[in-house]
Amino acid sequence: MYTTFCVSRETADRFIKLFVNRRAYGMQAAHPLPNGSVPYYLARDWQTKKPKPLDADVARMHLNGDITINLYAINPETQRSKWVAIDADFDGAVEALFQLQWELKQDGVEAALEQSRRGGHLWIFADTPLLAAECRIYIYNLALRLGVPVKGGGLNDGIEVFPRQTVSRMANTAAPSARRSASIAKRTRGTGSTRPHSRGAQLDYLDSLKKPTEAELRTSSTA
């Protein structure tokens, strides 16, 4: 039984409220594959083999840095997501993210910028879960307006938008639909990196961002 936590249950509950839209989750493997990649697998009860629901203790171990989990972006019962992540990892990625962040701000949408080694990520959190299809359409239209490339459709370099799908079905529960953007341990530790680095301070920062409503997102999409 895991008994030592450096992160409070309150902090774990805040993390869950902000990020978790569906209780199924993935676990990062303890050892890399021969090709060097470290896969995720669906967390299951070792006796029943059914998916394990994420709870505060799992979140606390993750925030401790003892394990790394990933989360499904979309709840298949509602086809909605609590957050949108824009991943950019190409030459000029940081400039593209700054451009997107500024334009989002003009739409009344505050996005948290997190820099990585080659690029970075923008995180947008919703007031209430938003339809994944509408989130993707909004970001794609924004990128098109700014001339920011979107990966896919013949382009090898460009932003990737998560949720990665417009629809998630229950049959897909074994494959997290936002694997890269939902490696939350790596992401939340860097988010707002110019601010205090405690988990509580990071969550304070993310909670302080203005969360767009569904009506605001639709208004911005048609502006």
Per-residue confidence (pLDDT) for residue 2, from 0 to 100: 53
Peptide linkage before 39 cis (omega within 30 of 0)? no
Per-residue confidence (pLDDT) for residue 204, from 0 to 100: 92
| φ and ψ at residue 152, rounded to 5 degrees | 110, 170
Peptide linkage before 163 cis (omega within 30 of 0)? yes
Per-residue confidence (pLDDT) for residue 30, from 0 to 100: 87
Distance in angstroms (rounded) separating the CA atoms of residues 213 and 222:
14
Domain residue ranges in the chain: 9-71, 80-222
Per-residue confidence (pLDDT) for residue 3, from 0 to 100: 54
Mean pLDDT by 10 residues, the chain (223 residues): 72 94 91 91 92 93 89 92 93 94 93 86 94 94 94 85 78 35 40 55 92 86 69
Other beta carbons within 10 angstroms of residue 67's beta carbon come to 16
Distance in angstroms (rounded) separating the CA atoms of residues 56 and 212:
26
Residue type, 109: V
Per-residue confidence (pLDDT) for residue 97, from 0 to 100: 96
Which of 82, 81, 85, 161 minimizes the C-alpha distance to 122? 85
Per-residue confidence (pLDDT) for residue 4, from 0 to 100: 66
Distance in angstroms (rounded) separating the CA atoms of residues 114 and 122:
6
Q: Are strands 69-71 and 25-28 parallel, antiparallel or unpaired?
A: antiparallel
